[in-house]
């Protein structure tokens, strides 16, 4: 690993070497001027080149490779056969349906619990708000394999709550069980994402509405909901995307009985067996990437709409 030398501005003075300047300033033609332009371009990018090359190799190329492998056929050439194979495979179809359902349900539940929680927390005094922020921080750091263990210790067959209440909870690896565990980090995530937003809804607006003889219901329908809706939509999209992509908790929980099939688990299992059907992992990966791209674009739109009132 070579350390990029920040101190080697090839084209002299720092201000003159700014690549954003039009290169015509020095004028002239021929190889000398071209060389100078190249040097200046290099000086503008050189210290960032290692990072750019590194991320190109480690992040961009893998993504492109997955797209390539999705369409590349064993027999040579390109086609839709790999996608067709995944679409025809009942296990993959089940995994895709489960992941989408889990993502949508999690995002909706996180919003349903997180929105009122964010609203109540934003209206607390400083001490209460700090306590709740700390609790959210605690909850969202209890993640991965440890979280799976925590839930098995709590509601597993010999779990604490199972004994205390003497009921049997849904298996932690089942669809319902996963939903119970995933909410543990998705609710705090939603609250943390929307807390800045609910502060937008200023108390003076409610007072102003009261002056105009608006009822509380009218205030919420005409002002509160329209202002908060884009923020809620943005939070929903992020939770949806992240939930579909989660691997660690899913892997741990799915080792239990009655476990549910998910896209990320199928990708992991395919890569591990590594003897057959790596293109299947590629197709499923590309599906996840597509979902991520679509929801990132929608997220940007939602945020742009939401920040009109800031």
Partner 1 sequence: MRSRIGSRVFLALLALYFALPLVAALLYSLATKWGDTVLPSGYTLHWWVDVFSRPEVSGALGRSLVLTAVTLAIDVLLVVPAAYWSVVHNPRIGSVVQTVTVIPFAIPWVVIAAGLQLIVKDTVPQLFGTFWLLAAATAAIAFPFLYWAVENSLLAADARRLSEAAATCGAHPMVTLVRVVLPAIRGGIVSGSLLVAATAMNEFALAKVLVGTRYETLPLWSARVFTSRTGNDPNALAVITIFTFGLLFALSALVVWLGRGKSASSTLALARTSSSAEKG
Q: Which ranges of the chain does DSSP label H, i.e. alpha helix? A: 30-45, 49-55, 61-71, 81-88, 90-122, 126-141, 144-155, 160-165, 175-198, 203-211, 216-219, 225-245, 248-253, 263-273, 278-306
Q: Which is nearer to partner 1, 197 or 209 (CB)?
A: 197
Q: Which of 42, 83, 104, 133 binds partner 1 (CB under 8 A)?
A: 133
Q: Which of 83, 154, 200, 298 binds partner 1 (CB under 8 A)?
A: 154
Q: Does 113 bind partner 1 (CB under 8 A)?
A: yes
Residues 23 and 37: beta-carbon distance below 8 Å: yes
Q: Which is nearer to partner 1, 196 or 226 (CB)?
A: 196
Q: Which of 175, 268, 301, 305 binds partner 1 (CB under 8 A)?
A: 268
Q: How far apart are CA 117 and CA 159, in angstroms?
A: 28
24-83: contacts with partner 1 (CB under 8 A): 43-48, 50-52, 54-55, 58-66, 69
Q: Which of 144, 200, 205, 214 binds partner 1 (CB under 8 A)?
A: 144
Q: Which of 103, 177, 188, 224 binds partner 1 (CB under 8 A)?
A: 188
Helix (H, G, I), strand (E, B) or coil at 162: helix
Q: Which long-range contacts (CB under 8 A, 24 or more apart) does 1-7 make?
A: 2/50, 4/46, 4/47, 4/48, 4/49, 4/50, 5/47, 6/47
| Minimum gap (Å) between residue 30 Cβ and partner 1 | 26
Q: Does 257 bind partner 1 (CB under 8 A)?
A: no
| Minimum gap (Å) between residue 186 Cβ and partner 1 | 8
| Minimum gap (Å) between residue 176 Cβ and partner 1 | 15
222-251: contacts with partner 1 (CB under 8 A): 241-242, 244-248, 251
Q: Does 116 bind partner 1 (CB under 8 A)?
A: yes
Q: Which of 23, 150, 170, 277 binds partner 1 (CB under 8 A)?
A: 150
Q: Is 4 left (phi over 0), alpha (psi -120 to 50) or beta?
A: beta
> Number of residues in contact with partner 1, rule: CB under 8 A?
102
Q: Which of 1, 126, 212, 275 binds partner 1 (CB under 8 A)?
A: 1
Q: Which of 25, 126, 127, 164 binds partner 1 (CB under 8 A)?
A: 164
Nearest to 193 by CA among 122, 268, 145, 245: 122
Angle made by CA atoms 95, 140, 260, in degrees to the nearest 5: 20
Q: Does 187 bind partner 1 (CB under 8 A)?
A: yes
One DSSP character per residue, 106-138 reads HHHHHHHHHHHHHHHHHTS-HHHHHHHHHHHHH
């Amino acid at each position: 690993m070579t350390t990029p030398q920040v101190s080697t501005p090839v084209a002299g003075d720092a201000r003159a070497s700014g690549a954003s300047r039009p290169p015509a300033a020095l004028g002239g033609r021929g190889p000398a001027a071209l060389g100078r332009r190249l040097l200046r371009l290099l000086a503008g990018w050189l210290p960032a080149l290692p990072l750019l090359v590194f991320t190109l190799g480690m992040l961009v190329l893998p993504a492109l490779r997955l797209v390539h492998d999705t369409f590349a056929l064993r027999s040579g050439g390109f086609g839709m056969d790999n996608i067709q194979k995944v679409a025809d495979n009942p296990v993959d179809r089940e995994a895709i349906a489960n992941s989408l359902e889990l993502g949508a349900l999690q995002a909706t539940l996180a919003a349903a619990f997180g929105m009122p929680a964010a609203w109540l927390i934003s209206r607390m005094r400083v001490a209460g708000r700090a306590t709740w922020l700390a609790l959210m921080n605690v909850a969202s750091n209890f993640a991965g394999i440890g979280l799976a263990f925590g839930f098995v210790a709590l509601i597993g067959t010999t779990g604490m709550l199972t004994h205390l209440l003497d009921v049997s909870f849904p298996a932690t690896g089942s669809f319902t069980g996963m939903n119970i565990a995933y909410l543990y980090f998705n609710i705090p995530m939603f609250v943390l994402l929307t807390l800045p937003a609910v502060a937008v809804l200023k108390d003076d607006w409610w007072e102003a509405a009261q002056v105009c003889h608006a009822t509380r219901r009218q205030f919420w329908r005409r002002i509160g909901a329209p202002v908060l809706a884009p923020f809620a939509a943005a939070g929903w999209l992020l939770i949806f995307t992240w939930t579909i992509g989660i691997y660690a908790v899913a892997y741990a929980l799915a080792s239990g009985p009655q476990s549910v099939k998910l896209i990320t688990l199928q990708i992991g299992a395919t890569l591990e067996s590594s003897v057959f059907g790596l293109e299947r992992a590629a197709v499923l990966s590309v599906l996840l990437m597509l979902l991520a791209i679509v929801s990132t674009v929608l997220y940007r739109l939602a945020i742009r709409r939401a920040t009109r009132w800031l």
